[in-house]
């Protein structure tokens, strides 16, 4: 009888701790974001330098460079990275980078005031 009570108490404690660990893991889960940076890239060598620098870094999921558009698109974990840290990494490569603010594709165009009624 005493053994059964101990077993139930241990099982209850185990289930509560498992539930707590699950909640803690969900809170620590980081979001992934994709940000485009405006970066002056002179040539394919600059592109390779950026890809080789960011590619193997922990928390960086994707690196996409555009020599034509002078941009670098990075997908990264917000748990490890933010814009400030990314820009600092570009500075290590002697490159200036700024996040590009993209226009919303669902923006509603305003009608002139003369057309407000129709």
Reported as a single tens digit per residue, the pLDDT across 38-70 is 999 999 999 999 999 999 999 999 999 999 999
In this prediction, what percent of the chain has a pLDDT beyond 90? 59
Encoded tokens for 5: 């009570």
Helix, strand, coil in percent for the chain, rounding step 5: 45, 20, 35
Closest CA to 23 of 32, 13, 12, 15: 15
Please tell me the pTM assigned to this model. 0.63
CA–CA dist 118, 74 (Å, integer): 43
Higher pLDDT, 99 or 115: 99
**pLDDT exceeds 60 at position 109:** no
Encoded tokens for 20: 């707590």
CATH number of 32-99: 3.30.70.100
Estimate to the nearest angstrom the gap between the alpha carbon of 87 and the chain centroid. 14
**pLDDT exceeds 90 at position 100:** yes
Identify the pLDDT of residue 108: 42
Indicate the SS3 state at residue 85. Answer: helix
């Amino acid at each position: 009888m005493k053994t059964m009570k101990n077993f139930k108490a241990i099982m209850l404690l185990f289930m509560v701790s498992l539930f707590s660990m699950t909640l803690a893991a969900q809170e620590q889960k980081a979001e992934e974001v994709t940000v485009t940076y405006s970066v002056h890239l002179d040539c394919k060598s600059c592109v390779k330098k950026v890809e080789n620098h960011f590619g193997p870094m922990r928390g960086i999921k994707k690196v996409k460079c555009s020599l034509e558009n002078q941009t670098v698109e990075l997908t990264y974990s917000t748990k490890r990275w933010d814009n400030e840290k990314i820009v600092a990494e570009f500075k290590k490569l002697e490159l200036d980078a700024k996040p590009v603010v993209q226009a919303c594709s669902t923006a509603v165009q305003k009608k002139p005031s003369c057309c407000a009624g129709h």
